[in-house]
Structure 1
């Protein structure tokens, strides 16, 4: 039977962490597969780390790792994946603009795909944020041909063995479906619910959504050309 670890990267999210504890704790109690929550503190400078420690002391469902300084979202996801020991790895943002209960929608497809990606078909963000994300997704699609029109959606489930083989660089969190496909894995996107941010502040601006992703596309193309993928047909090891 599958087991799931949900990675929750966070940076200066003290205003959201009690909601994270409540919502993800409730989901872990009733999930269709045994589920644990891994909080990844990306060098927060507010009270986030203190609150994370308290949450993990209160609840058996939560554990955490904490960076000594801010390293970025890709590093936080990579560190989470490195510490996962369950067969499935999930990802959700700490702003909870997506609903943990929608992991159940993704789990229905996980036996047939190596990555199930949510997509926010009715986004509750500002016009500028929606427009910049649409443009960025179209640019990434042009380079990756992965067919994803919301690859940055912060609700995903992956088979952990595929996730651990992804060679991360800064910005690669935008290319997770494409990197699964490079390994010969199958991906699918499923509509999920989306909500406005009700606490904290967004960590990405126009530059993060447009200029940096365009630059990262060239890094992805280099990796695609040089990516090593093999399948062992037989072995005898001692």
Structure 2
């Protein structure tokens, strides 16, 4: 189908959201700036999510899925999406639809010279505690990575797939995508996007794993940065 963009949709126990996800993504595919397909990554859901995803993909030729045997976490789901993406660009959006698929076009307009363009949520509709913990976590991460990003947790991103496939993977990866691109000497940019309250399903992150997890992951990032191998081949024997 000559797709140019694959949108990864990681999900874990999101049966209440999936039909809305289907409708919103179908609407986006009609106005997308690039020929786009959707890849659901079912992270070992224990509810009815997999059955719904299978039905959605049967009805829509631009929708596909992979499913884990058991729950592995968000970073693993994103990693699998990168691994299975076959298009030059790969996007990412959460299945809670707190960001708008239409805003992918805002990111696509900027992707040209950049390896990654990420959304930054404006006028966030989360609780005070969630907003505060995210702000603290972002501050901790910036102090370690110097990535200049205000909102790496924003679940709306577009990344050039060749960069995505070279990212060394570990749990907590989703917080460090811009920093991982910078290790490859790739350029990153953030663009304001809309944000909405969660209207169905349950949030998978809480105060402790928004603060303690990012702090521990920062030390893992520093170790990786010190050991990271990056090279560019300038000439080869054909």
Q: Same fold (TM over 0.5)?
A: yes
Q: TM-score, normalised by structure 2?
A: 0.98
User: Which string of whole-angstrom CA distances, capped at 9 and with x for unpartnered residues, describes residues 177-232 of structure 1?
Assistant: 00001100000000000000000010000111000110000000000000000011
User: 2:136 is matched with which residue?
Assistant: 135
User: 1:203 is matched with which residue?
Assistant: 204
SS in 2 for 1:207: helix
User: 1:33 is matched with which residue?
Assistant: 34
User: Which string of whole-angstrom CA distances, capped at 9 and with x for unpartnered residues, describes residues 88-133 of structure 1?
Assistant: 0000000000000000000011012110010002100000000000
User: 1:183 is matched with which residue?
Assistant: 184
Q: Is the 8 A contact 1:125 1:196 kept in 2?
A: yes
Q: Distance in 2 between matches of 1:172 and 1:222?
A: 14
**CA-CA distance at 1:30 after TM superposition:** 2.0
User: 1:230 is matched with which residue?
Assistant: 231
SS in 1 for 2:147: coil
Q: Distance in 1 between matches of 2:65 and 2:33?
A: 23
User: 2:115 is matched with which residue?
Assistant: 114
Q: Is the 8 A contact 1:181 1:187 kept in 2?
A: yes
In the alignment of these two chains, the number of paired residues is 237
Q: Tell me, yes or no, if structure 1 residue 158 matches structure 2 residue 171.
A: no
**CA-CA distance at 1:16 after TM superposition:** 0.1
Q: Distance in 1 between matches of 2:141 and 2:62?
A: 35
User: Which string of whole-angstrom CA distances, capped at 9 and with x for unpartnered residues, describes residues 111-160 of structure 1?
Assistant: 12110010002100000000000000000000000000101100000000
Q: Is the 8 A contact 1:96 1:197 kept in 2?
A: yes
**CA-CA distance at 1:29 after TM superposition:** 2.1
Ranges in structure 2 where 5+ consecutive residues have no aligned partner: none
1:42-57 equivalent positions in 2, closer than 5 A? 42-57=43-58
User: 1:217 is matched with which residue?
Assistant: 218
User: 2:101 is matched with which residue?
Assistant: 100
Q: Distance in 1 between matches of 2:31 and 2:190?
A: 24
Ranges in structure 1 where 5+ consecutive residues have no aligned partner: none
**CA-CA distance at 1:2 after TM superposition:** 7.5
Q: Is the 8 A contact 2:3 2:36 kept in 1?
A: no
Q: Distance in 2 between matches of 1:189 and 1:66?
A: 30
Q: Distance in 1 between matches of 2:10 and 2:174?
A: 12
- Tell me the C-alpha RMSD between the 2 structures: 0.9
- Pick closer, same or farther for the CA change 1:2–1:40 going to 2, 3 Å: closer
List structure 1 runs of 4+ shifted beyond 3 angstroms. none
Q: Distance in 2 between matches of 1:223 and 1:2?
A: 33
Q: Distance in 2 between matches of 1:61 and 1:236?
A: 39
Q: Distance in 2 between matches of 1:39 and 1:2?
A: 16
